[in-house]
Amino acid sequence: MGSSKRQYSVGVVGAGLVGEALVELLEERAFPLKELRILATSSREQEIAGRMREVTQISNEAFRGLDIALFAGTEGESGAAQTYGWEAVERGVFVVDNGSDFRMDSRVPLVIPEVNAGAMQEHQGFVANPNCSTIQMVVAVAPLHRHAGIRRVVVSTYQSVSGTGRSGVRALTQQREAQLNGSSADCGPYPHPILDNCIPEIGSLKSQDKFSGYFSEEIKMIEETRKILATPDLPVSATCVRVPVRIGHSEALNVELGKKISVREARDILSAAPGVEVLDAPESSQYPLAADAGGKDGVYVGRIRQDPSKENTLDLWCVSDNIRKGAALNTLQIAEKAIEMELI
């Protein structure tokens, strides 16, 4: 982040994978930090981002004196914004929430800075960070939408275990170790073993008529994409699958557009788009891989091709670090953009 005369007191709510990544990024990006306060369900010392740090038990009083609060929204701190978010706003704190509680709240802008930063203009002190899978998909399709208008999106995701937090990573690690030594390991947070498996279940199953048979992760992708792109009737179909990958979500996208865009034009549009990196040379086996995305900021797009079964339709493959861009980085970028826009 560029230089700033003002410095800010920042609270990070959560000390799990996303909370730790937020702390790392605040330091890595030279955020104008006056004070860093880490809040969680209990007071303790914990190694976070390479050194031991004080963690303060969360309470309404713990937000006193903060300018910005970044809610990690994962693991034990999931739902913390419901209890403390608006109370923090009442204390003059600018809240960015990575959790899902307020994403569809009409009072709360749902923001990807590269796509719809202008939505923050009417903020009421509270901005939501989209779901990790939604973020990378919309970063990839928004440039095409601006050029030709999207008519429909079909997405299948291949989501890493880190999306479940430390418990998901632990389950995969334990199951790998058990396989090697001939012992057994439980399923962890999943309904089936994740090792050597793909599980088409992320979130809770919905039974209402509108989304009957869809899991909540899939519904998030549908509803959040519509809100971010300001296209309330956009047809979106999602199938979300958990795969035995430690970090990095991958997505196969089928995007129907309002007019034809050639593959070359699509590459040029995406190459010029903020936050997008194009890696598209399948003839030499060059395309985005989850194994290469970890620790990186971009949304990587490749396998760009015309869908021969549908007019004006492109197929894409995109990959991103779900903890970094899909959660912590986008959350921090919202705060950085709000400062740049003089909204804080």
Catalytic residues: 132, 249
Q: Are 217 and 120 in contact (CB under 8 A)?
A: no
| 3-class DSSP assignment, residue 123 | coil
- Give the rounded distance of the alpha carbon of 204 from its chain centre: 18
Q: Are 304 and 316 in contact (CB under 8 A)?
A: yes
In Å, what is the CA distance from 41 to each residue of 10, 85, 220?
17, 15, 26
Q: Which of 85, 236, 78, 238 is nearest to 167 (CA)?
A: 78
Distance from C-alpha of 233 to C-alpha of 288, rounded to nearest angstrom: 31
Would you list the DSSP string of 184-246?
Answer: ----TTSSS--TT--B---SPBP-SGGGTT-BHHHHHHHHHHHHHTT-TT--EEEEEEE-S-S
> What is the residue whose two structure tokens read 């396989």?
179
| 3-class DSSP assignment, residue 10 | strand
